[in-house]
């Protein structure tokens, strides 16, 4: 079997979002489907690749790169030689997102060819995973967060993660640059949510790297410890690794990072060695399925949790192929009041992550990633 073509199909889709306390009207945006085709008819797909989860499509420039230099290196190659391609592109320091998209389309191709869900081909470990509700930032007052957390608890979630206030001032209620941090109000949100949901719900906290000083991160971390939060995610800029080492030593609450630092599993392996965080973090857009599986092995060897970042088909397949002792939770969201997370986008027949009343997401059983694609929609809305 040989690769004969690589195509990126960009298409229009309407999407609703939430920004600074408001549910925004639907707008036109772009999505993309990357397709790898072989001479024996086997195909592999990946949806998205540019932003959060699977939702954001590749840009025109990214499309040109995939259909140019990347495609030229893949044509004529065996599609099952994923590790070889991963090494080629990594040593060439290629765009991490694009390396990831190719890697995942190739994994999807092989799992489809074998007729099994991708997580089974990776080595199935579980058919369902615990989910947590992951919020948009700047959702409103502390009471707004508390009410939303209660609604999520009633829905079945057993874990709720707060994205607090950043790039928006909760006092003046206007957008602001990244300074100053709003740690007083962030702490109030954490307190209000804990008081609302009680002690039987797992809580975690992610200010998305916007605390600029060790002192700010330390103070918030101490308050989270009093409130029995499970983890403190990405509190500061992730270039400041030595400061993370100090914070991880000084706080009892586990520090979960790096979240968005470049370098895939290489960067995260170095953080583990240095003790810069207590739990590590990665997603399939930082090295593909191949890169994430490499990190889960490193994390397991060192006895460190590897919590998968973001929602989406690829991340869910990783979780199905790993032990809960290594990768415990699935990040479901982003969520906010009024956001409809349960309705599939118009190019899919079903979402990847329906959740049951006990807070578990069940793995798709279709071959490959689990996509149930509406090809008519995609073809009718091509860009």
Q: What are 181-219's pLDDT values in tens digits? A: 999 999 999 999 999 999 999 999 999 999 999 999 999
Contacts 24+ apart (CB under 8 A), 236-243: 236/209, 236/211, 236/212, 237/209, 237/212, 238/209, 241/271, 241/274, 241/276, 242/276, 243/214
Q: Are 118 and 289 in contact (CB under 8 A)?
A: yes
Local confidence band at 178 (pLDDT 50, 70, 90 cut-offs): confident
Helix axes 214-226, 241-250, angle to 10 degrees: 30
- What pLDDT, on a 0 to 100 scale, did the predictor assign at position 53? 81
**The pTM of the whole model exceeds 0.85:** yes
**Is residue 331 pLDDT above 90, yes or no?**
yes
Cα–Cα distance between 63 and 58 in angstroms, integer?
6
Question: How do residues 78-127 score in pLDDT, each as one tens digit?
Answer: 999 999 999 999 898 899 999 999 999 999 999 999 999 999 999 999 99
- What pLDDT, on a 0 to 100 scale, did the predictor assign at position 282? 98
- What pLDDT, on a 0 to 100 scale, did the predictor assign at position 180? 87
Torsion of CA 374, 377, 382, 383, to 10 degrees: -110
Average pLDDT, the chain: 97
Omega prior to 258 cis, within 30 of 0: yes
- What pLDDT, on a 0 to 100 scale, did the predictor assign at position 144? 98
- What pLDDT, on a 0 to 100 scale, did the predictor assign at position 179? 83
**What ranges do the domains of the chain cover?**
3-115, 121-362
Q: Which CATH number does 3-115 carry?
A: 3.30.390.10
Q: Which of 173, 132, 129, 130 is nearest to 149 (CA)?
A: 132
Local confidence band at 52 (pLDDT 50, 70, 90 cut-offs): confident
Question: How do residues 282-320 score in pLDDT, each as one tens digit?
Answer: 999 999 999 999 999 999 999 999 999 999 999 999 999
Question: How do residues 257-282 score in pLDDT, each as one tens digit?
Answer: 999 999 999 999 999 999 999 999 99
Query: CATH: 3.40.50.2300, 3.40.50.300, 3.20.20.120, 3.40.50.620. Which one for 121-362?
Result: 3.20.20.120
Q: What angle do CA 270, 274, 277 make, to 5 degrees?
A: 90
- Mean pLDDT of the region 216-234: 98
Outline where DSSP puts E strands in 41-143: 43-47, 128-135
Q: Where on the phi/psi map is residue 359: left (φ > 0), alpha (ψ -120 to 50), or beta?
A: left
**Is residue 68 pLDDT above 90, yes or no?**
yes
Question: How do residues 71-89 score in pLDDT, each as one tens digit?
Answer: 999 999 999 999 999 999 9
Cα–Cα distance between 309 and 320 in angstroms, integer?
14
């Amino acid at each position: 079997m040989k690769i004969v073509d690589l195509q990126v199909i960009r298409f229009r889709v309407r999407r609703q979002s939430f920004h600074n306390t408001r549910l925004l009207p639907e707008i036109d945006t772009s999505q993309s489907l990357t397709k790898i085709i072989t001479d024996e008819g086997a195909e592999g797909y990946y949806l998205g690749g540019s932003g959060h989860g699977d939702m954001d499509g590749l840009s025109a420039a990214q499309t040109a790169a995939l259909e140019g230099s990347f495609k030229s290196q893949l044509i004529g190659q065996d599609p099952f030689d994923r590790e070889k391609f991963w090494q080629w592109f990594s040593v060439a320091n290629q765009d991490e997102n694009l390396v990831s998209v190719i890697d995942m389309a190739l994994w999807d191709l092989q799992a489809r060819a074998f007729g099994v869900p991708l997580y089974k081909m990776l080595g199935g470990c579980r058919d369902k995973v615990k989910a947590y509700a992951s919020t948009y930032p700047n959702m409103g007052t502390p009471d707004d967060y508390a009410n939303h957390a209660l609604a999520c608890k009633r829905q079945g979630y057993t874990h709720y993660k707060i994205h607090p206030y950043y790039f928006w001032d909760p006092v003046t209620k206007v957008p602001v640059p990244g300074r100053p941090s709003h740690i007083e109000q962030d702490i109030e949100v954490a307190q209000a949510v804990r008081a609302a949901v009680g002690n039987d719900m797992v809580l975690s906290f992610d200010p998305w790297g916007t605390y600029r000083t060790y002192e700010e991160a330390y103070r918030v971390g101490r308050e989270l410890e009093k409130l029995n939060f499970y983890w403190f995610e990405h509190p500061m800029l992730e270039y400041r690794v030595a400061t993370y080492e100090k914070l991880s030593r000084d706080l009892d609450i586990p520090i979960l990072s790096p979240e968005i630092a470049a370098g895939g599993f290489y960067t995260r392996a170095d953080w583990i060695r240095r003790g810069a965080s207590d739990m590590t973090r990665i997603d399939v857009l930082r090295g593909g399925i191949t890169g994430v599986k490499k990190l889960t092995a490193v994390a397991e060897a060192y006895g460190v949790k590897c919590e998968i970042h973001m929602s989406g088909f690829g991340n869910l397949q990783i979780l199905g192929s790993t032990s809960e002792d290594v990768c415990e939770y699935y990040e479901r969201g982003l969520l906010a009041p009024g956001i409809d997370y349960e309705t599939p986008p118009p190019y899919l027949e079903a979402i990847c992550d329906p959740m049951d009343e006990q807070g578990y997401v069940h793995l798709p059983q279709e071959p490959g990633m689990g996509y149930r694609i509406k090809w008519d929609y995609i073809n009718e809305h091509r860009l």
